[in-house]
Amino acid sequence: MQAFHTRPLTPRFGVEVSGLDLGDPATDALFPHIRALFEEHSALLFRNQTLDDTRHMALAQRFGPIEDRNADERKPGEGFTVPRVSNVREDGSVTQAMDLHTLHLQANMLWHADSTFLPVPALTNILIARVVTTEGGATELASTRAAWAEMPEALRARIRGRGITHHYAQSRARISPELAQLPMFNKWPETRWNSVWTNPVNGREALYIASHARQVDGLDAEDSRALLDELSDFCTQPRFVYAHRWQVGDVLIWDQRAVMHRGTPWPYDQPRTLSSLCTSATPADGLDSIRMPATPDGQSQQPEKTDMEVSS
């Protein structure tokens, strides 16, 4: 059995794991230890890895079902391929700064958790650096678990127990109205999830928000936006953030239930390619706990206003 070591990425969350070759099938036997680190620390970094797409998929399947957003668009007999987060076209050229594809990548620079707009949200993202730029292009992670634990109770009380509606086009509209109209951002109906996700392994709570969040139960659109922005601003203070500067071969894994992330700009004339696999959350990951209960009329259950909310 391989020996491995860990060191903190930040004082509040995340560890770098060294001494493991994720491409070695023998490492599969250590997955229970990797999963325990994932539950405890929310983000894992492995450097100098040589995972091809096959091993990337095998690692992802250890966490759960691989998310497939394009299943409905795939031609008969066409197989699943590992998605690339990239500005590189098929002919090797790069997209321009104002291309819709580049704007789509820029929408990923808003703080978000992946797939909150899907019928089944993501548990994790496993991101691998294939081509990196000479500057910029970092991926930042923000621990909504650590932030929730340190958040003033007055602010927590304004969101605790409420559902939040999410839609893919919401985040794209913040970048470009034209982008938000594309069919790929409108093929799923809006979703509604509890604002707090409790980890079933250790009982720790995390705020569950994203740039895809559209409206908070019981609030109008303007008040929802203001509260969501306030919550996001609190969670993304420097003390809750880890900024990862990519090197080829880096593998970064994080818990979508407890971490938001965003990309950062880079010179768009430089190619940048990351391989990205999300896995879907299951009931074992606490999925059922964030589904909002319905009232007899089919609407989401609305929490009663607290005295603080009535007076504010």
pLDDT one-digit tens code per residue, 140-159: 999 999 999 999 999 999 99
Check residue 101 and give its pLDDT.
Answer: 57
pLDDT tens-digit map of 212-230: 999 999 999 999 999 999 9
Q: E strands, the chain, where?
A: 5-8, 15-18, 43-46, 84-86, 122-131, 139-143, 163-166, 191-194, 196-198, 205-207, 213-216, 241-244, 251-255, 259-263, 273-280
Q: Which fold has domain 5-311?
A: Double-stranded beta-helix (3.60.130)
**DSSP at 183:** G
Check residue 103 and give its pLDDT.
Answer: 65
Quote the CA–CA distance of 46 and 56 in Å, as a whole number.
13
Check residue 77 and give its pLDDT.
Answer: 84
Check residue 229 and give its pLDDT.
Answer: 95
**DSSP at 309:** H
Check residue 2 and give its pLDDT.
Answer: 64
Check residue 53 and give its pLDDT.
Answer: 95
Quote the CA–CA distance of 41 and 12 in Å, as a whole number.
8
In a 3-state reduction of DSSP, which class is residue 192? strand
Check residue 220 and give its pLDDT.
Answer: 94
Query: What is the strand order of the sheet 122-131 is part of?
Result: 5-8, 15-18, 43-46, 251-255, 122-131, 273-280, 84-86
Check residue 301 and give its pLDDT.
Answer: 43
Which residues of the chain fall short of a pLDDT of 70?
1-2, 96-105, 294-312
pTM of the predicted structure, to 2 decimals: 0.88
Q: Are strands 273-280 and 191-194 parallel, antiparallel or unpaired?
A: unpaired
Quote the CA–CA distance of 270 and 106 in Å, as a whole number.
15
**DSSP at 312:** -
How far apart, in Å, are the Cα atoms of 149 and each of 109, 131, 234?
A: 25, 36, 12
User: CA Rg, the chain, in Å?
Assistant: 19
Long-range contacts of 25-28 (CB under 8 A, 24+ apart): 26/2, 27/2, 28/58, 28/62
Could you identify the residue written with the tokens 């910029």?
A: 136
Check residue 167 and give its pLDDT.
Answer: 92
